[in-house]
Amino acid sequence: MELVALNPELNIYDHQWPIWTYQAQQPPAKFVLDEEGRRGMAVNSMVAGGCIISGAYVQESLLSNDVRIDDSSIIQSSVLLPGVTIGRRCRITRCILDENCVIPDGTQIGQDSELDQKRFYVTKRGVVLVTQDMLRAAERAKG
């Protein structure tokens, strides 16, 4: 999360100290829709290639490649690993979403600590870790 700070200790943009890594060839991130309440945007965040933020708001978060976020969703202070899909009208705060997690429309995570502890793993500092298996178990418990 320190990477999204104004002056992070590890500056990945420092040409004097390059970071050599493999990076998949993907299209650039795309931000779509520009209506009140449905504006695709990211603020103080890092967004990898292949992401589509469609009418959603992302703040102080890290989005890995191929993340999809549907309209009217709000993502704050979170890390989304590759392939995460977030439905419409979701609120995700202080979360780490594991690879390929699919978050159904209207889901709220990081809003109610008591509910989060029943469904997911919550750290001592209140960060919610969500995996595919946890999501499946939560769906089974609901229905």
List the domain boundaries for the chain: 2-15+24-142
In the structure, what pLDDT confidence band is assigned to residue 37 with cuts at 50, 70 and 90?
Answer: confident
Report pLDDT for 103: 97
> pLDDT per residue over 55-98, tens digit each?
999 999 999 999 999 999 999 999 999 999 999 999 999 999 99
Whose CA is closest to 57, among 67, 68, 35, 42? 42
pLDDT at 36 over 90: no
Rounded alpha-carbon distances, angstroms, from residue 133 to 31, 40, 70, 84, 139:
29, 29, 22, 14, 10
> pLDDT per residue over 101-123, tens digit each?
999 999 999 999 999 999 999 99
Report pLDDT for 35: 86
Give the bridge partners for 107, in sequence order.
none
pTM over 0.85: yes
Cα(87)–Cα(4) distance, rounded to whole angstroms?
24
Cβ neighbours around 66 below 10 Å, total:
20
The CATH number assigned to the domain with range 2-15+24-142 reads 2.160.10.10
Give the bridge partners for 36, in sequence order.
none
* Alpha carbon 99 to its chain's center: 11
* Residue of higher predicted confidence among 25 and 40: 40
Cα(132)–Cα(102) distance, rounded to whole angstroms?
8
pLDDT at 5 over 80: no
Across 20-40, average pLDDT: 86
Q: Could you tell me if 6 and 60 are in contact, meaning their C-beta atoms sit under 8 angstroms apart?
A: no
Report pLDDT for 21: 73
Radius of gyration of the chain, Cα coordinates, nearest whole angstrom: 16
Q: Strands across the sheet with 68-69, in order? A: 30-32, 52-54, 68-69, 85-86, 102-103
The DSSP bridge pattern shows strands 95-97 and 68-69 to be unpaired
